[in-house]
Every structure is written in C-alpha cells, then in structure tokens.
Amino acid sequence: MANRFSLELAQRPRRLRRTASLRAMVEETVLRPSDFIAPLFVVEGKAPPDEIKSMPGVFRLNIADLVKECRALHKLGVPAVALFPKLDPSLKDDIGTQALNEDTLVLRAVRAVKKAVPDLTVITDVALDPYTSHGHDGVLTTARDDVENDRTVEILGRMAVLQARAGVDMVAPSDMMDGRVGAIRRALDAEGFTGTGILAYSAKFNSAYYGPFRDAVGSAQAAGTRLLSKATYQMNPANRREAITEVMLDDAEGADILMVKPAGLYLDIIRDVREATRKPVAAYQISGEYAQIQAAARLGWLDLARCRNESLIAIKRAGADLILTYFAKDMATLLGR
C-alpha cells in the first residue's frame, strides 16, 4: 500500500542525486588540467615576485621566476601560458615603439620559456596597450580621440612576426581592430611562419571588469588625464548578434581558436559562438571576475574554492573548450592529471 503522501510519480530526477557515486556517474561537465591556459605577467629585472593588489595570488614575475612558474605549470598538466609584459613607464610612448623592438621584454621571456620548457604552448598578446603611454591598444589618430585601425593593424602584423620569430606557438590579437586576423595571418605566412597559430580575441567586450589587469600592466591611465575608454573598438556589452559577426569574420580570416572575453557574464555569447563555428572556442575569465571572487572570499562572504570551481564549470558548460583563468594553477593542482 503506497504511503498516503506518495505522489506516484513516474519521474523522480532526485533518484540520480541520491549518492555521491550516482551524482558522479551522471555528471555532464568535467574540468581537466588541459582545459586551462594560465595568463602570466612578466617584468624586467631581478626583483622577487610582486603581488598585484587587486589580484591576490597573482604576481608580476621576472624572467627567471617566470620560467620556474612555467615549469611548474607544465608539470601540473597545464598545456599553455599567455604572457603579458609590464613595461617600465619610461619605455612607453604614443605609438608603442617598444612593441617592435626585437629584444623587448616579452620576446626575451618567450625565448627563455621556450628554451626551458619547449613542450609548453606559449601564447603572446598582440596589442599595443602595454607599450603606449595612453594605454590604448593601437595608435591614435591626429585628433587623438580614436585608435586608427589600419595603421594599427600594420604594426600588429609586424609584432606578430617578431613573436613568431621568438618562438611562440600562437599569437593572440586582443585589440579588436577590423581585419587584423587576416593581416596577421598574411604577415606570418609571408615570413614562413605558417605553423604559428592565431588565438583570436574575437568577441571582446568593453568591460569594466578589466580594471585589475590594467593595474597589473600599468595601462590604466590615459596619459594622466583622459579617461581610458575602449568603446570605439571593444564591443558593446549589450550586443549579442554582433558577437557572432565578429567571430565569423575571424573564423573566415584564418583564426585557429576563437575567444569570448570576459567569460562569466557572457555565457550566452559563449554558447552562441559554440554553435556558430566548428573551431575550438576559448573564453577568458578576466581579472575582474577573479578579483570579485577573491574579494568576497576575503570578506568571508563566499567560499573561494567552491565559487572558483562553479564559475569555471559554468564557462565550460556554456561551450568553452579552453579557459584562460588566473585560477589555472590552483585548478590543475586540485584536479591532478
């Protein structure tokens, strides 16, 4: 005789949540160390690791320490790193001259890492913001109110060739200029770097959550005065269809991996992109996403490990094959190989 409270349901989804082993058996999304790409910041000199205030646990590393970190990440099964240089302000100018110096910081870092850990995939950013005094991703028009697309793209092509020559496996244009993926592909091929890949920041939104990163590389202030707005090149956060337009352009121009950035607030975009292309999709859990989890955890308001894990599962579940995240090392440590 059925319990008088029994609903006599044919479907009881809770049956598969009853025990830990049942829950594991029906788990749909699983993270593994090879899902992650670790963004790393490199500085000149020999100073000890310098923690970024708004990014607890993330450090600016000199080249020797960067190499050590890369070795550790490789051992943990993290397949790739994305390198970002923090230049001394005295080396910055209006047109980002240092970006085309073949001995600039990031290129020396690439050579050191590739020599020490050849199997680790090394990715470098192609954009002028670490090199310009105004912090924009390209050169400004004479009116100084906008970034000049085609002149910037020409510089980015040359920058990518220098990075390829230094030994990177992939270049990652993060500037959002029109036509830069195709131009970079042609520039690389013309120099014989047909095997150097392009990880394109295809749908990169004009996000307020980049703040901690701009502190990290010192691109936050627009020559002291102007407010730094990248609204004329980065996408409007309100636009969903436009993200697909951007992604399909980069796909057609020859990008090997297509990226959405930021990640956590743009899960719908990640899903749309996953459905629009057959190529691998990456998502960048950016500095502000990391900072807000860290900050709430420090206040005792959220559980760090659980929020970290959930934020990353959500990004993968949305459709990302790869995730750039400042939690890469922690996750690889947690997950094992």
Q: Does 213 bind ligand PBG (CB under 6 A)?
A: yes
Question: Which listed residue (35, 65, 69, 125) binds ligand PBG by CB under 6 A?
Answer: 125
Q: Does 174 bind ligand PBG (CB under 6 A)?
A: yes
Q: Does 36 bind ligand PBG (CB under 6 A)?
A: no
Q: Which stretch binds ligand PBG (CB under 6 A): 30-38, 57-65, 91-99, 210-218?
A: 210-218
Measured distance CA(317)–CA(100) in Å, rounded = 39
Measured distance CA(309)–CA(261) in Å, rounded = 18
Q: Does 152 bind ligand PBG (CB under 6 A)?
A: no
Measured distance CA(318)–CA(328) in Å, rounded = 18
Annotated active-site residue in 86, 92, 230, 261: 261
Q: Does 92 bind ligand PBG (CB under 6 A)?
A: no
Q: Does 129 bind ligand PBG (CB under 6 A)?
A: yes
Annotated active-site residue in 86, 92, 114, 204: 204
> What is the nearest approach in angstroms of ligand PBG to the Cβ of residue 142?
23
Q: Does 137 bind ligand PBG (CB under 6 A)?
A: yes
53 a catalytic residue? no
> What is the nearest approach in angstroms of ligand PBG to the Cβ of residue 109?
16
Count interface residues toward ligand PBG (CB under 6 A).
13
261 a catalytic residue? yes
Q: Does 104 bind ligand PBG (CB under 6 A)?
A: no
Q: Which is nearer to ligand PBG, 185 or 230 (CB)?
A: 230
Q: Are 38 and 74 in contact (CB under 8 A)?
A: no
> What is the nearest approach in angstroms of ligand PBG to the Cβ of residue 285?
8
- Residue of 215, 221, 210 whose CA lies nearest to 292: 210
Catalytic residues: 204, 261
